[in-house]
Amino acid sequence: MAQVVSLIQGASRGIGLQFCQTILKRHPNSVVIATCRQPDNSLGLQELKAKNPDRVNLCVLDVNEDTQIENVAKFTKEKYGKLDLLINNAGMLHTSGRGETSLREISRKGLMETFETNTAGPLLMAKHFAPLLKLGSGYFGIKPADSKKQHCSVLVNMSAKVGSITDNHLGGWYSYRMSKAALNMCSKNLSIELGRGSKPVICVSLHPGTVDTDLSRPYHKNVPKLFTTEYSVDCLMDIVESLTISDTGKFLLYDRTVYPF
């Protein structure tokens, strides 16, 4: 069977690292391009590469550096000529590590840095990887029997439930909420532009649940249902594997609930 190619950006730790581990395990015919800012400093990625030398590529990619995005797109094109799955995973709560609780805590720097990583990064990734996604094999997701269109690949933006405008009853976390709400708009726009033609790309926003990672650590005490990364990513991969073209543009929770924007 032809090689299946997945790229996970923000793969150094947490949910991104788990995506790499789970994809390699669930899809023995697949290779992974794991990108992060400092691959040499990620013990998890180094171990994964040592165990799977021919199936794991480690690449330097800061989502705020356009040249690095372009370099990895060039590498992917030259080595594999296509991409079947792109997971835009890197994200941050805020530069301070905690969401703002009131207007007093807002700073232009915190707002813009959060936007740059959580919103501009995934969109720039989409820009540079769209041509390779258009050459994907349709391995992830399924084609319903009654559908004339066969999708070619899947693009996932890792969003968060708190990015839902409809579901915002508590306020706070301005930077994170706004960046993820805008990311959801990014997924919707991508689903329209990359949905054109005979080979559409399925584009979705996914919420992983509240997961035991560094990002959520300051809030673990108050979480009634904290997921392990293994459990969350298994749920998310069940979704990725069962997506159809009719799901494109949706915001889905880990249990496949369609969530309002």
**Binding site residues, ligand NAP, CB under 6 A:** 10, 12-16, 36-38, 62-64, 89-92, 117, 158, 160, 207-208, 210-211, 213-216
DSSP 221: G
Least distance to ligand NAP, CB of residue 216, Å:
4
In angstroms, give the least distance from the CB of 188 to ligand NAP.
Answer: 17
| In the complex, minimum distance from the CB of residue 226 to ligand NAP, in angstroms, rounded to a whole number | 8
CB nearer to ligand NAP: give 141 or 208: 208
Q: Whose Cβ is closer to ligand NAP: residue 107's or residue 246's?
A: 107
Supply 127's token pair. 């820009």
In the complex with ligand NAP, which residue's Cβ is closer, 10 or 141?
10
Query: How far is 258 from 177, CA to CA, in rounded Å?
Result: 18
Alpha carbon distance 73, 90 (integer Å): 17
DSSP one-letter string for 85-136? EEEE----S-TTSS--SSGGG--HHHHHHHHIIIIIHHHHHHHHHHHHHTT-
**Least Å from the CB of residue 261 to ligand NAP:** 16
The kind and range of the H/E element at 201 are strand 201-207
Task: Give the shortest CB-35-to-ligand NAP separation in angstroms.
Answer: 7
Identify residue 121 by its one-letter amino acid code. G
Sign of CA dihedral 155, 205, 182, 103: negative
> 23 or 245, CB closer to ligand NAP?
23
The dihedral built from the CA positions of residue 230, 17, 249 and 224, taken in this order, carries a sign that is positive
Q: Which lies closer to ligand NAP via its Cβ, residue 228 or residue 246?
A: 228
Sheet of 56-60, strand order: 56-60, 30-36, 4-9, 85-88, 153-158, 201-207, 251-253
Report, in Å, the least distance between residue 39 CB and ligand NAP: 9
Question: Can you say whether the dihedral through the CA atoms of 37, 38, 39, 41 is positive or negative?
Answer: negative
Pick the closer one to ligand NAP by CB: 11 or 245.
11
Least spacing, CB of residue 40 vs ligand NAP, in Å: 11
Q: Rank residues 89 and 191 by Cβ distance to ligand NAP and give the closer one.
A: 89
